[in-house]
Every structure is written in structure tokens, then in C-alpha cells.
Amino acid sequence: EAGVAQSPRYKIIEKRQSVAFWCNPISGHATLYWYQQILGQGPKLLIQFQNNGVVDDSQLPKDRFSAERLKGVDSTLKIQPAKLEDSAVYLCASSPLGPWTDSSSYNSPLHFGNGTRLTVT
């Protein structure tokens, strides 16, 4: 099966500019996640979608970050305006987990894309 697709692979912007990242999850996967990974750290969860609804966005800096998942498939993550500390790799992941899922599917692993490396100068 095709994996999680993300674009662009790299992005360099100046502070206060805007940027958007795109994610196409594995076909049929109901749940989509965005993670932020700062150099030297493990990935940090930003937001979780189930179909086109937000399940958890408690770690998303909502004054500058926004995300949407229209039609419950592709998703975009936007930063506006960017700060120097936003420099990181932004990872998208998906899993088949859904509200109708039986308990065994909660053991389905998350599949990650290769991320977008953002540099803010």
C-alpha cells in the first residue's frame, strides 16, 4: 500500500511569513495526526483528527497554527506568522482507527510520512 505522503519536503521562510504543509494519509485511514519534531527531541503531538473532526488540539499553538482536514482525507497545517522557534520537522501520521473500530484495531500502528523540514530565518 502507498504510504503517507507529505509535501513539500523542505521549506525555508523568513520569520513573520506564512507557510503551509500538506499531508495525504493512507487510503481508508480515519485518523490523522500532525507532530512537530525539534532537532534532538522526539516528535510532539500537535493535533489529532478523526475523519474531518478534531479530536485533540490541546498542544497546538492556536494563535499562529491552524489545521484542517476537509472531506476527511487530506490535511493541511498552516503557520501564520512563523517564528524562529517553529523551525522543526513536521510529521504527518495516519491510522485506521475510527469511532466504529473494534478494540483490536486500537492496536493498529500509526504510519508516518517522512515529514517537511521547516527552517525559519
Partner 1 sequence: DAKTTQPPSMDCAEGRAANLPCNHSTISGNEYVYWYRQIHSQGPQYIIHGLKNNETNEMASLIITEDRKSSTLILPHATLRDTAVYYCIVRGDRGSTLGRLYFGRGTQLTVWP
Pick out residues in 15-74 that bind partner 1 (CB under 8 A): 31, 33, 35, 40-45, 48, 50, 55-56
CA distance 36 to 38: 7
* Rounded Cα–Cα distance for residues 108 and 101 (Å): 10
DSSP assigned state of 43: -
Q: How far is the CB of 78 from partner 1 (least distance, A)?
A: 20
Rule CB under 8 A: is residue 75 a binding residue for partner 1? no
- Residue corresponding to grid cell 484495531: 105
Which residues of this protein are in contact with partner 1, per CB under 8 A? Answer: 4, 31, 33, 35, 40-45, 48, 50, 55-56, 91, 93, 95, 97, 103, 106-107, 109-115
